[in-house]
Amino acid sequence: MRIRRHPSSPAVSIRELQYQIQTQDSQPQNILEEIVWHKEKEVDRFRDQTPLSDLQQQVAKLSPPQDFLAALRQGKTTPALIAEVKKASPSKGQFRDTFHPEEIAQAYERAGASCLSVLTDQKFFQGGFEILSQVRESVQIPLLCKDFVLYPYQIYKARAHGADAVLLIAAVLSNQDLAYFMKIIKALGMTALVEVHTLEELDRVISIPGVDLVGINNRDLETFHVDLAVTCSLIDARVNPLRDRGILVVSESGIHGPQDVAAVAQAGAQAILVGESLIKQESDESHFASELERMQTKIDRLFNRPAGNL
């Protein structure tokens, strides 16, 4: 695990030294740590509003989730597309002036996405669980809840708002937590997408029983640096164990054009997760009559297919 879950408390009590240790260790070292430390407080607030037992009762009344992994295996495109409903990011700010999640989600679905990802982190990505619910009402395809999961509570909350799959980030969870959270996700009939960024993390994840869907994030969440070679080198290093275990690999982040899609597909990614390049408002986009037309054009371009070829 690369990330400290909490600010560490000083081990010594000599006053001056304590002051020094506190100032150094009580600052997050990078954005991922900052997000995780803040997430602890956000989850506390959610628990105060709605206890876990209430969420569990809500979840018990829902019809079963859809099979996210099967939708990727069937794939409306090759590789299958998970399109992300993403309003903003901590590094780039807001991607467009007006953001209508239902419209975007419907356009993605009709233009060829096999599944959708919905960001629910409020502070850093301007997402929300109300957006997940709105999207659930607007489309048929399976949904991934994209958040920084630290507690089982968040898994029930995702399900209660209509998610079929939940992201688990190896950089912030121990193996024990990963294995435990996977059990809860499976018991709820959902799919876990386990995200890695390094070979160490991939090795940890491959060793956990029941992992069948792995996301390789091309973006380093500590620095925001994006490199598609991350997907290629990690798959390359572990081709055999990935194949033997029947793990489907999703290449995540920084995919902008047909060359990018071809590169990660060639490396062995069977699905891609794309946010920014689909959602971003370009300066020459005013001529698009509708969100559907916009998304159709962008997705056609991404897969190098003739315009309107759905």
Ligand X SMILES: O=P(O)(O)OC[C@@H](O)[C@@H](O)c1c[nH]c2ccccc12
Instruction: Kindly tell me which residue out of 101, 112, 254, 268 binds ligand X, with binding defined by CB under 6 A.
Output: 254
Show contacts with ligand X in window 172-231 (CB under 6 A): 195, 217
Write down the least CB distance from residue 62 to ligand X, Å: 25
Cβ neighbours of 33 (radius 10 Å): 21
By CB under 6 A, the count of residues binding ligand X is 14
CB 157 within 8 A of CB 131: no
| DSSP, residue by residue, 91-142 | TTEES-S---HHHHHHHHHHHT-SEEEEE--STTT---HHHHHHHHHH--S-
126 binds ligand X (CB under 6 A): no
Instruction: Kindly tell me which residue out of 155, 192, 235, 273 binds ligand X, with binding defined by CB under 6 A.
Output: 273
Helix axis angle for 229-237 and 258-267, nearest 10°, is 10
In the shown chain, the binding pattern of residues 76 to 115 toward ligand X, with x for contact by CB under 6 A and - for none, equals --------x-x-----------------------------
Angle (CA) 155-268-167 rounded to 5° is: 10
Write down the least CB distance from residue 145 to ligand X, Å: 11
275 binds ligand X (CB under 6 A): yes
Q: Which residue is nearest to ligand X (CB)?
A: 275
Cα dihedral sign for 79, 82, 88, 91? negative
134 binds ligand X (CB under 6 A): no
Cβ neighbors of 150 (< 8 A, separation 6 or more) are 5, 36, 39, 40, 43, 172, 173
Instruction: Kindly tell me which residue out of 106, 120, 134, 253 binds ligand X, with binding defined by CB under 6 A.
Output: 253
Please state, in angstroms and rounded to a whole number, the distance separating the CA atoms of residues 185 and 193. Answer: 10
Write down the least CB distance from residue 100 to ligand X, Å: 18
In the complex with ligand X, which residue's Cβ is closer, 25 or 276? 276
260 binds ligand X (CB under 6 A): no
Please state, in angstroms and rounded to a whole number, the distance separating the CA atoms of residues 90 and 206. Answer: 30
Write down the least CB distance from residue 160 to ligand X, Å: 20
For ligand X, which stretch binds (CB under 6 A), given 54-62, 133-141, 201-209, 250-258?
A: 250-258
Angle (CA) 180-183-185 rounded to 5° is: 110
Write down the least CB distance from residue 264 to ligand X, Å: 12
Say how far residue 134 (Cα) sits from the centre of its chain: 18
Residues that bind ligand X (CB under 6 A): 84, 86, 146, 195, 217, 252-255, 273-277
